Amino acid sequence: MSNEFDYTKLKHITSVDQSDREVPYNLRQSGPTKVEMLISTRVRKSPYWHLSMQAGCWRATVYNRIYHPRGYVKPEDGGAMVEYDAIVNHVTMWNVAVERQIRVKGPDAEKFTDYVITRDATKISPMRARYVILCNAYGGVLNDPILLRISEDEFWFSLSDSDIGMYLQGVNADGRFNCTVEEIDACPVQIQGPKSKALMKDLCGDQVDFDNMPFYGLAEANIGGRSCVISQSGFSGEAGYEIYLRNATLYAEDMWNSVLKAGKKHNLMVIAPAHHRRIQAGILSWGQDMDQQHNPFQCNLGYQVSLSGKGEWNKKGDYVGKSALEKMKADLVDGKKPYKLQLVGLEFGGKPIEDYAPDFWLVSPESGGDPVGFITSPWYHPEKKQNIAMGYVPFDGTLNANGFPKGKVGTKFKVHLPEQYSEKAGVPVDAVVVDIPFKESFNANTREVVKG
């Protein structure tokens, strides 16, 4: 697509049915927009910001009101796909200090946590973590953090991109739960790739038994002489770990430089969060693949929801959004369609997409006509030699074996790509609905009825 975009032709697409949303997704296509990011004091610089600059970061975005590095290899040197090669073949480190840590601590920490998440917090043991979601009273997804249980009376919410810390403080504004809710100075980096275990063993020595560490297991260790919590988890689908450095504002260099030193023999590369790899794994990005007006069922997170009843559903007490989610599930069982659009996986044509999409590209029926959906997360899959994406298309009522909504595999659409990726200018490419994930994770996704 030319950088000389004709902004006089901008038009918001209204044919996509978003009548179940108060604020529709903005489907106004703008293409690449050349602007300079203002670095000011309104947005926070993380403890690792200067270290990312030293590592060659050349572009950034804003995430949780913190500057977020999103590119190290320049396009002329191969761009994001060089970083992809590093994560699938070697080991990488990401600055993800934007994942603010909200600590809930006190006698009612478990009770409070259980009230704000949709799965059963009582089944999470100390020194274990889980992927969880928080919903609002209408069943909309507010955030999908990693939840770390540090001890019986202490939880950390490692946030995705919505400032849920203030929400959590608001939930307990009247002090009904005997616990404190506050952000703490603990900042993570992610160590991701097939050589991650070897690197972590060199880094931690005999402090941690990595050979017997379960997925989402936690451990305490000193790295660079500084106190850290380590989780076997990550945002990539590859083998990996997260290192949460305590007092990160004071000790960022000590931990970071220790990782760089230990990583030399493993071909460690500092890269941006690997969205190409997380898309393959079907891992969602809040704000891109879902927001507070999407419910868990329509964005493939129904397996996270605990509902009342016998059999497949766990028994769990009241929590925020439970009644709304139970109504949605009942409607689905009755064959109703409680929302308009369903998140699906798509494979489609066009030239390889090897960078972030600046717009939500539009999806039309196979027979043509006005757009009925849109793509949220596209990228090129090198092993499949195929463009892939997650996106929203009209919900047709299809349910999987567990009774959760899904897209009907094999349904065909057309995707409207910008000129730089089009096979023929102005002509949409063929697309087909496929199962998610597009590539299995090292720790395979288990998407079933919640079990804590």
Residues 149 and 228 in one domain: yes
70-124 tens-digit pLDDT: 999 999 999 999 999 999 999 999 999 999 999 999 999 999 999 999 999 999 9
| 392: CATH | 2.40.30.110
- CB-neighbour burial class of residue 60 (10 A; exposed 0-12, middle 13-18, buried 19+): buried
> What residue type is assigned to position 339 of the chain?
Y
User: Do residues 237 and 344 share a domain?
Assistant: no
What is the model's pLDDT at position 5?
A: 52
Tokens of 360: 């939500």
Helix, strand, coil in percent for the chain, rounding step 5:
20, 25, 50
Calculate what percentage of the chain has a pLDDT beyond 70: 94
Give me the chain's average pLDDT, please.
Answer: 93
> Where is the domain boundary, 220, 253, 273?
273
Q: Domain check: are 201 and 237 in the same one?
A: yes
Q: Note the pLDDT tens digit of each residue in 237-271.
A: 999 999 999 999 999 999 999 999 999 999 999 99
> What's the CA gap between 372 and 383, in Å, rounded?
29
Q: Would you say 372 and 441 are in contact if contact means Cβ atoms under 8 Å apart?
A: no
Confidence label for 449 from pLDDT (cuts 50, 70 and 90): very low
Asked, for residue 24, whether it belongs to a domain, the answer is no
Q: Give the number of other CB atoms < 10 A from CB of residue 97.
A: 30
363 lies in the same domain as 264: no
The answer to whether the bond into 378 is cis (omega within 30° of 0) is no
- 177 and 287: one domain? no
Would you put residue 64 in left (φ > 0), alpha (ψ -120 to 50) or beta? left
Domain count, the chain: 2
* pLDDT confidence band for 31 (50 / 70 / 90): confident
Tell me, what's the pLDDT at 446?
53
Split at pLDDT 50, 70, 90, the class of 8 is low
Task: Report whether pLDDT(311) > 50.
Answer: no
Based on the domain organization, do 251 and 299 belong to the same domain?
Answer: no
The per-residue pLDDT for range 350-386, each reduced to its tens digit, is 999 999 999 999 999 999 999 999 999 999 999 999 9
| Residue 311 CB-density burial (10 A; 0-12 exposed, 13-18 middle, 19+ buried) | exposed
What mean pLDDT is predicted for residues 165-181? 98
Tell me the pLDDT band of 308, cut-offs 50, 70 and 90: confident
Do 82 and 274 contact (CB within 8 A), yes or no? Answer: no
Residue 313 is predicted with a pLDDT of 46
Q: Show the tokens assigned to 452.
A: 């804590």
Q: What is the DSSP letter of 145?
A: P
Q: What is the pLDDT of residues 267-301, one digit of tens each?
A: 999 999 999 999 999 999 999 999 999 999 999 99
Task: Pick 184 or 308 by higher pLDDT.
Answer: 184
Q: Rounded to whole angstroms, how far apart are CA atoms 353 and 408?
A: 24
Residue 316 has pLDDT above 80, yes or no: no
- Are 178 and 298 in the same domain? no
Domain around 363: 282-305+340-434
CATH code, domain carrying 232:
3.30.1360.120
Do the domain assignments include residue 54?
yes
- Taking a C-beta distance cutoff of 8 angstroms, is the pair 189, 243 a contact? yes
The model's confidence at residue 7, banded by pLDDT at 50, 70 and 90, is low
Burial 410-440 (b: 16+ CB within 10 A, else e): ebebbbbbbeebbeeeeebbebbbbebbbbe
Identify the weakest region by mean pLDDT among 42-51, 153-162, 305-314, 390-399.
305-314
Range name among 5-19, 29-43, 347-361 with the lowest pLDDT average: 5-19
Look up residue 258 and give its amino acid.
S
Token pair listed for 450: 């919640």
